[in-house]
Each structure stands twice: as structure tokens, then as C-alpha cells.
Amino acid sequence: MRARTPRPIMAALILLVDANRTTLGQTHALLARRGYLVAPVSEFASAAELLRTVSPDLLIVDPHRPVIFTHASRDPYVESEAQRLGATYLVRPWNDDRFLAHVAAVIADHRWVRFPVRRWKRKRISNAVTVRAGSAVAHVVDVSYGGLRLAFRNPLPESSTTFAVTLPAAQLSFEAHRVWSHHAPTGAEVWCGVEFADPEGAEARTWRAFVDSLT
């Protein structure tokens, strides 16, 4: 009896999106040499058009943009990974108003840090950490080496562009610039992004040590 000829295994299709055409070409060539079918595109609009007609096995994206993960049910692992990567995690179905508030907040935040890659990863603050910002009291939402995001019950006056921030938990005070502010997704607070007035000063170094100490 003749042995059966095994069926050829269909190569996996990878949709590759990268605005850097040099990197796009290099990654395409690397994957193609390994036998993958690759659909390389340099724009999200082209990727969206392709997704209407094909269903890739893998999507490789260099977004350089903020990301919102959506999931049909709450998954602690996916949620922790989204937070680790600095992404927003939402469970479907959602309240339309809260979803739109998340979208507005992410876009506003992205416009503040419009660099090719975020300079520093953020750390969420799980416990209540209170600070004094100028004459107001706020609590810390998240931190990075470059500054922190504060939540206020009331909007800061437009004139408050530079103010003193006192953080009793770190025994630290420093001058900060307000970079952006907008309503939090819940609508109950106003978020404000602040950065060090002197990013190379002694206070900034002490702050970075404090950020490193957080888990």
C-alpha cells in the first residue's frame, strides 16, 4: 500500500503594521523567510481595509499610539497585561457615556505625551496617596519618573500652571508644571498631569527613588 502524501499545512497569515518602512521591510523579510504569509502595511487605514476581507492568524503592530483593550468578560490576566503596557482595559458591554469618557481621556493624555515612544512607564497607585498641589488637595492616580497624574475634586484655576506639590508619603516637595487637565472617565474628578519644573534637580532624583520603591 502506498503511503499517503501528507497534506501541506497552510502557512499562517500575519498582518504587519509599521509606519517605519525600513523596519516594515526588514520584519517582512524575516517572517517570510520562516515561511509565513505576510501582509505588510504602513498605515492603520490600510490595515483596517485588509481586515474587512481577511482574518489574519496574528496582528503585529507598532502603534506609537495609546491603546484601549476590550474584552467580552473580565479577565485578570488580560487586565494586568493591559495595565503593564500602559493601556486602558474595558469590559463589554459598557456604558456608552463612560466609554466615550475613556476615549476622550486617552486621546487627551496622548496629546500631552506625543513622542514616538513614551519615555517612562507609568505605575498605578493602588492605595490612597494624598498630595497638596498649591492650595488644593488631590490624590495620586499614577506615577512615572517624569511626574504624576493627580485627581482633584474641583478644576484648578487656569492661572495655576506652576505650583508646589507636597507628597508627605515620600517626604518630598517640588515645583511642578501643569501639562494637561481633563475630566476623569467617571466625571466625578478632574485629572491633571504634572511634570517636574527641574527634571534634573535633587527632588527629581528623590522622586525616582520613590517611584522605584512602589510595587
- Are the beta carbons of 192 and 156 closer than 8 angstroms? yes
Lowest mean pLDDT among 134-138, 142-146, 159-163, 186-190: 159-163
pLDDT tens digits, one per residue of 27-47: 899 899 888 999 998 887 788
Beta pairing class for 68-71 and 190-196: unpaired
pLDDT tens digits, one per residue of 159-212: 567 888 888 877 888 888 888 877 777 767 888 888 887 777 788 888 888 888
* Distance separating alpha carbons of residues 23 and 40, to the nearest angstrom: 11
Greater pLDDT, 18 or 94: 18
Domains 13-61 and 123-213 share a fold: no
List the domain boundaries for the chain. Answer: 13-61, 68-112, 123-213
Percentage of the residues of the chain whose pLDDT score is greater than 70: 77
Asked whether the bond before 93 is cis by omega within 30 degrees of 0, the reply is yes
The CATH code belonging to domain 13-61 is 3.40.50
Q: Whole-prediction pTM value?
A: 0.44
- Measure the CA angle with vertex 173, ends 156 and 124; round to 5°: 70
SS3 of the chain: helix, strand, coil, percent, to 5: 30, 30, 40
Class of domain 123-213: mainly beta
Interval 107-130 mean pLDDT:
62
| Per-residue DSSP letter, 53 | T
Residue 53 has phi, psi (to 5 degrees) of -120, -20
In which residue are the cell numbers 504569509 written?
A: 37
pLDDT-based confidence at 7, cuts 50/70/90? very low
